[in-house]
Structure 1
């Protein structure tokens, strides 16, 4: 029996030589200032793939001045992700083909997850130390939506090999570097697993380097296919069930089947309430206690038991215990991710993980309390960071539905040092509108 064939890879031709660094940097400055559009970029020899990435970066709110990447979760979370990530069994292949030769060459080798989180960053010790200055470290989020145009992030966005030369990077702090990256896919399902990247000087943005990184990605996919065929522990890593309850979308329960495909189950409001409460009470809840938390007036124990019976059919009996009612499986949730980031004092990641309030349609008094608690905690953390000069975080909070009427927040933004005249005028205008509405 032959090994599973890796997913088809769309090869990229060697990129054309970009404009001179000084010329490209001048065009970049005009673009991030909003003074020129994509048509201007194309007429000044900016590669279309780079121009489109700059457009996505600017539209997504990436600030080229605040650093290359927002921090991801705490290091402990990265360690757990490494242990279970599907690329972990192929790390020896990557080290043999890339890392061994990178030592002493001024080159950094990075392996990222599919969401852009860096898992391993190895190679030349001096280059690794210099890369730390731009947060190119395990646990950092180098997705394009977070760090702007960069080889691993843009390769993951487009699903193809990518080279980014110096000033083609969207973030200014990354522009002294060049990088080449290729995505890696699951050899059975074709699902995106992550990316392999070489970062260094101009020597990593050549056609030879592109061929090397592409070949390494193919070797990794073949290695995973052979391991899986031999039953040597390279099955797709089992993900914990994930609960999505923040923002305006319908709540859902996300699991992974035996071949790595995501299974999304939409939840009723009552089932979402129950799962949130059980996730916050790992010790379990009695039917009486759960009835009070869900509705302190009209809910009886019989109704609770009926709901639990229906929920057991939705998420699987293996996940839900009784006497007391409790989760039998460790789960993750977007709610938990926000709290983990706040516990790690990583307000930036907490904002990244917070699309909006908790279960806004819920009438449960316990959920209302959790909703208020989370919103107030995040707001206080943002205001504390803004007092230390992080007005970018304050602006992101004020763009949230909860922040639009936050008078104290808008006043803090208006009084912030270093604000542009236009931004200060906008804050003043918003305050005037709030005062008018409130009389």
Structure 2
């Protein structure tokens, strides 16, 4: 935020609301650029957000933010989200006073998914018309310039006034939001937002939301310090095997604190295979799945013995080898989302291929299955007008050389002129490289 603002939070000399609406129309039509916006005193944080929104293919005529997942998935996320223990603090500081004030209080995850939307019942009903509801994606990528999404994008508190919103359906509203961070690691956990009329975007409101975010962070730190209200120690172990990072086994200690154990490639292979075969696997079968030629059962048994020491004997059974306790995994989350036809959640949970260094034929088959299925689902969604999902797929390492995908983006009716030009340029680069 600029240091000098009026009581409405706008900088001195900023465009009037009607002028701002006119500038927004010119910008989305491609008739003025960011340099011009800067020359007429559109706030830089807003102009830059408009640029990101336009470049990301956000449609300013969207009826509202897109859905981020099924209701059941949102409920699961609420139950496990690190901000859940601080919800009573947010309700006490913000929601209780918002009930009869025309204000909506929202709490979002770090990816922009709305988790809780509470406050004045009449205002909440009006907000539903723009899909400001739990489970909707209000990231900048999903809904364009808006206070919670842009606060997450720039990682600082801010206010968005009326026509500063990128999507036209949101422009009757104003909002104030602040990000919330993990008090130990500093990682972004989500955002707290107040949405309502023009009186929501004032200096006093900004101070209130900032103070609430600080109170939430202090509350989480206190819970962690005392162990009161911490996540139960029985939380399921979580296996991380997607993307370029080293595979790891994540559990919680008696105080609910996360404990991460890095895994060897072979141990990660075994855990993935056992998670996909809940009925269990014999030593002979596991040997074939891990290596069709050179692995014998003696080696498998030795690896299982070492794995027990790494993750705890209570998690592994034998005769046949199997997982004795339920676990979750990023791999399973992506497959579950695809099974539920929730392509967006699948893409959100997919940072890259499965265990790329693995020499296991079964892992290679599973890696190909996941990648091909997700790609096909994204292309199918793109054909239905969801070009933003295709853009995100093409940003992944395995999508950068996906010529058919870039061609589909170029030919999609749902992309901006800039996105289409970028697709043409990428295709030209691929063709040049391939001769």
Place the TM-score, normalised by the shorter chain, in its bin: 0.7 to 0.9
Whole-angstrom CA distance in 2 between matches of 1:358 and 1:192: 25
Contact 1:143–1:152 (CA under 8 A) maintained in structure 2: yes
State the Cα distance separating 1:207 from its structure 2 match.
Answer: 1.8
2:379 and 2:405 in contact (8 A); partners too: yes
Matched, 1:365 2:348: no
Q: Distance in 1 between matches of 2:361 and 2:249?
A: 22
* 2-structure distance, mates of 1:355, 1:345: 19
Equivalent position of 2:318 in the other structure:
322
What residue number does 1:105 align with? 101
- Between the aligned partners of 1:190 and 1:427, the Cα distance in structure 2 is 36
In the alignment, which of 231, 241, 255 is matched to residue 245 of structure 1?
Answer: 241
The answer to whether the 8 Å contact 1:245/1:252 transfers is yes
Give the 3 Å change call, closer, same or farther, for CA 423–207 of structure 1 in structure 2: closer
Evaluate the alpha carbon distance shift between residue 90 and residue 296 of structure 1 in structure 2; reply closer, same or farther with a 3 A threshold.
Answer: same
Whether 2:115 is the aligned partner of 1:119: answer yes
SS at 1:140's partner residue?
coil
In the alignment, structure 1 residue 235 sits paired with structure 2 residue 230: yes
How many residue pairs end up in the alignment?
A: 428
- Residues 346-398 of structure 1: CA distance to partner in whole angstroms, max 9, x if unpaired? 22222232233322332222112212222232233233323333334344445
Contact 2:69/2:344 (8 A) holds in 1: no
* Cα distance change on mapping 1:89 and 1:264 into 2, 3 Å: closer
Contact 2:224/2:255 (CA < 8 Å) preserved in 1? no
The 1-side partners of 2:417 and 2:150 are apart by 33
After superposition, the C-alpha distances for 1:30-62 in whole angstroms (9 at most, x for unaligned) are: 555677665544333232333454455566x35
Structure 1 match to 2:309 = 313
Q: Which runs of 5+ in 1 are unaligned?
A: 1-9
Distance change (3 Å), C-alpha of 1:213 and 1:302? same
Distance 1:345 1:290, change over 3 A: same
Deviation, structure 1 residue 165: 1.4
**TM-score, scaled relative to structure 1:** 0.79
Aligned pair partner of 2:71 in 56, 72, 75: 75
Give the Cα separation in 2 of the matches to 1:221 and 1:355: 28
CA distance change for structure 1 residues 315 and 168 in 2, over 3 Å: closer, same or farther? farther
The residue matched to 1:122 in structure 2 has which SS?
strand
Does the CA contact (< 8 Å) of 2:95 and 2:118 recur in 1? Answer: yes
Identify the residue that residue 352 of structure 2 maps to in structure 1: 356
Q: TM-score, normalised by structure 2?
A: 0.80
Of the structure 1 ranges 143-152 and 72-81, higher mean CA displacement relative to structure 2 is found in: 143-152
Corresponding residue SS for 1:120: strand
Query: Aligned partners of 2:243, 2:281: CA distance in 1, in Å?
Result: 26
Structure 1 match to 2:10: 16
1:182 to 178, 185, 189: 178
- In structure 2, the CA distance between the partners of 1:67 and 1:379, relative to structure 1 (3 Å rule), is farther
What displacement does 1:202 show? 1.0
**Counterpart Cα distance in 1 of 2:152 and 2:407:** 39
